[in-house]
Amino acid sequence: MTPAKRPSPDERRTQRVLREALDELVQHVRVIRRTLPTMAPHEIAHAQERLEWLADEVWRLALEEGADDA
């Protein structure tokens, strides 16, 4: 496995929406990890739904960015 290249500053600016969505996904996962032991079942279900929605959004944005690069 080769190490990932650091994106250039230009790439970071052009993929701002994707980066923001990915940051939101990562932040949500961190909150879940920290609060999971104290969450009620309905809170877990809501967190899972939001996690799935965020993952779908990141995937959609990544595909759009990929189509723009082609």
pLDDT tens track for 4-29? 666 666 555 678 999 999 999 999 99
Is 28 a member of any domain?
Answer: no
Instruction: Report pLDDT digits (tens) over 24-39.
Output: 999 999 999 999 999 9
Establish if 23 belongs to a structural domain.
Answer: no
Alpha helices in 1-69 (DSSP H): 9-14, 16-35, 41-69
The reply to whether 9 falls in a domain is no
Integer Cα distance of 44 and 32 in angstroms? 8
Q: Is residue 4 assigned to a domain?
A: no
Q: Is residue 35 part of a domain?
A: no
Rounded CA-CA distance 55/57 in Å is 5
- Please tell me the total count of domains within the chain: 1
What confidence tens digit (pLDDT) does each residue in 53-66 have?
999 999 999 998 77
Other beta carbons within 10 Å of 30: 10
The answer to whether residue 66 is domain-embedded is yes
- pLDDT value of residue 2: 58
Show the domain range for 54.
40-70
Residue 48 located in a structural domain: yes
- What whole-number distance in Å separates Cα of residue 55 and Cα of residue 26? 10
Is residue 59 in a domain? yes
Model confidence, pTM: 0.73
